[in-house]
Amino acid sequence: MLYMLLGHEAQDTLTKRAKARPAHLERLQALADAGRLILAGPLPAIDSPDPGPAGFSGSLVVAEFASQTEAETWLAADPYVAEGVFARTEVRPFKRVLP
């Protein structure tokens, strides 16, 4: 089943985000290589593709997992969680309609 994984950004995390980004992307690439990643990306804090010092308000991943517990476990092990980039996270089932 598909799940939405949402990380809500903590304050002043641009340095932490940059440090953890390579390992974070590596984990996402593994999901993509397995054909389980639908989409992933950051949520700019302002209406701009490059928010600069405004940073991000969080990140969104939609991917396939065997269960919500598996999705929660995967997110809990993410480098952005370990580095304190996210103040909180949430995982919810997602039903794809389009495309």
Q: In this predicted structure, what is the pLDDT of residue 29?
A: 98
Percentage of residues in the chain having pLDDT higher than 70: 100
Amino acid at 47: D
In b/e form, how buried is each residue of 44-60, taking b as 16+ CB within 10 angstroms?
beeeeeebeeebbebbe
Q: In this predicted structure, what is the pLDDT of residue 5?
A: 98
CATH superfamily of 2-47+54-94: Dimeric alpha+beta barrel (3.30.70.1060)
Query: Structural domain boundaries of the chain?
Result: 2-47+54-94
Condensed to tens digits (0 to 9), the pLDDT of residues 65-91 reads: 999 999 999 999 999 999 999 999 999
Q: In this predicted structure, what is the pLDDT of residue 12?
A: 93
Give pTM, 2 decimals: 0.95
